[in-house]
Every structure is written in C-alpha cells, then in structure tokens.
Amino acid sequence: ACGSGGGAETGSTGGTITMGFAQVGAESGWRTANTKSIQDEAKTAGIDLKFSDAQQKQENQIKAIRSYIQQKVSVIAFSPVVETGWDTVLLEAKRANIPVILTDRSIDSDDTSLYKTFLGSDFVEEGRKAGDWLVANASGPTNVVELQGTTGAAPAIDRKKGFEEKIASKPDIKVVASQTGDFTRSGGKQVMEAFLKSQPKIDVVYAHNDDMGLGAIEAIKAAGKVPGKDIKIITVDAVKDGMQALANGEINFIVECNPLLGKQLMELAKKVVAGEQVPERVVTEEGTFTQEQAKTVLPQRQY
C-alpha cells in the first residue's frame, strides 16, 4: 500500500501499477514468445497489463500509446516497429508525466529524455556473429542473398550493418541481392522465389530472422534444391521451428535473439514507477547455435 496521495502520481489506484504495452504485431515465432513472456510476467509481478497488437503498423502503435496516455497508465512500454517518427507522441507521454520504457527495439531520436531505459538485444552484434560465421566457413567466391527484416526497423538496419562489417574483410563474399521479407515466413518465401529466378548463382541465404529463413527453405525445396547443402542458410532468433530446421540440417547457423524479456521489463517498470534510477541501456545476453548444438539443446527449448 502506498502512502496517501501516491495513487495520483503513479497514475494508478490502490498502488497497482498499470502498464500500457504497444506490441509490434504477431509477425514471427519470436514475437509470439515475446508477447507470452510479457503477459505471463506481468501477471506474476501483479502488474495490470493493457496490451495492444499494432499489426506491424506505426500508426496503430501511435494510436495505442495515445490511448494509454488518455487512460493515465503508470508506465508505457513498447517495441517500436520502425526507428524514426516517435518524438511527437513520446513528448505527449512526457508532458503527461508517464514514463516510457523501450523494449526489444530502440528508436532513432536525439532526445533521450523521451524514455527511461531501453531493454533489448544488441542487433549490430547479432549481425556481426552471422558475418563471422560466414567468413570462417565460406570457401571461394560466395554469393549471398539477404532477406531483410521490416524496412526501417532497428533489427533490420543493425543486422545488415553488423554482417556487412564482417564480410568486408573477404572480397570473395558478395551480397548479390537484398530485399525485405518483413520478418514473416510468407515474405521470406516470396522474396526467395524471386531471388531464385533472378540470380544465376546463390550460395548462401542470410535471413534476418528464423521465420524468413523457414520461408526460404520452402522456396528452395520447390526449386528442386537442397537447403543447408546446395544453398547454406544463416538466420537470427533461435525459436523452436528454426532450431528444429538447424538440427535437421536445413539451416546451417543461427544467431540467438532472446525474446524472454518479460521478467526484466516488469522489474524495470516497478523501479521507474517508484522513481528509482535505472540503467539507460540493458543488453540481453545471447549466443549462437551450430547444427550439433541445436540437436543437444532442442529438447529443452522453451519457445
């Protein structure tokens, strides 16, 4: 129980924290696991969660954030679908004295006073890990096709950047085509079908997430080629379906991106609402998986 008068300050009644969470969508297995983690951990933490799904559209996320401001929630958390275009709505939250936490994806803004903290992965580092693996495993001229995530999204921009940084040391490795598959399985499949028609020689697919990689596998098989052998595949995430394909030999390497952010998010929310200091950046710890490692960890994989 809070002291008298505390309720108005936290935008809550009876000391219960209300969180408005504006999720990106339900575009991937990763996102499904992330949503579940947030919903489960809010319950465990006794936080009243108002949840919205923006179907990968920035305008929907902005609408959701405005409605949370109107409802005077204690804290707003969101995973921005794209990096830019948030200053106006976040300024509205700031003026309403509602703290904002960024989770999973960050924004590109000069005004860091618009949010309290950012909890999530280092996407550039993920791209570097993918690039490192290819540099270590490629032999001779290697043509790569890249399936990018959602245009303008932090993980798409950063995973491209980190990967390019690493392969720059090997002139034999060339990205011959790069296009967005919007982080979805159907997007990955469609773009890969087009690549298979337009590119005379594809050695490697670098997909910014498992789902697009899984879509590419379908396209490769339909074209009569063997995924993982004729065309090597590198993805990011390490969700169960991706790990299964890795263990089966259809994917060659996966860089982990951890979606289980719920627990840390609720801890940060409690601190922020209480007016305590929090670090401005909390980085998720994650690894990588080879085919052999996938076989070992798959039975215990939670998501």
Least CB distance to ligand AHR at residue 259 (A): 7
CB 253 within 8 A of CB 234: yes
Could you give the 3-state DSSP secondary structure of residue 230? coil
Q: Point out which residues bind ligand AHR (CB under 6 A).
A: 27-28, 30-31, 104-105, 155, 183, 209, 236-237, 257
- Residue among 48 and 125 whose Cβ is closer to ligand AHR: 125
Shortest Å distance, C-beta 25 to ligand AHR:
8
Using the minimum distance from each CB to ligand AHR, give the nearer residue, 145 or 153: 153
CA distance 100 to 103: 10
DSSP at 209: S
Q: Least distance to ligand AHR from the beta carbon of 48, Å? A: 25
Please give the radius of gyration of the chain, using alpha carbons only, rounded to the nearest integer.
21
The structure tokens 């020689």 sit at 201
Closer of 11 and 262 to ligand AHR (Cβ) = 262
Q: Are 236 and 159 in contact (CB under 8 A)?
A: yes
- Closer residue to ligand AHR (CB): 285 or 292: 285
Q: Compare residues 196 and 257 and give the one whose CB is closer to ligand AHR.
A: 257
CB of 210 or CB of 250, closer to ligand AHR:
210
C-alpha 36/C-alpha 41 separation (Å) is 8
HEC string of 146-201?
EEECCCCCHHHHHHHHHHHHHHCCCCCEEEEEEEECCCCHHHHHHHHHHHHHHCCC
Q: Where are the beta strands (DSSP E) in the chain?
A: 18-23, 48-53, 75-78, 100-103, 117-120, 142-148, 173-180, 204-207, 232-237, 253-256, 281-283, 288-290
Cβ 151 to ligand AHR shortest distance, Å: 13
Paired residues of 288 in beta bridges: 255
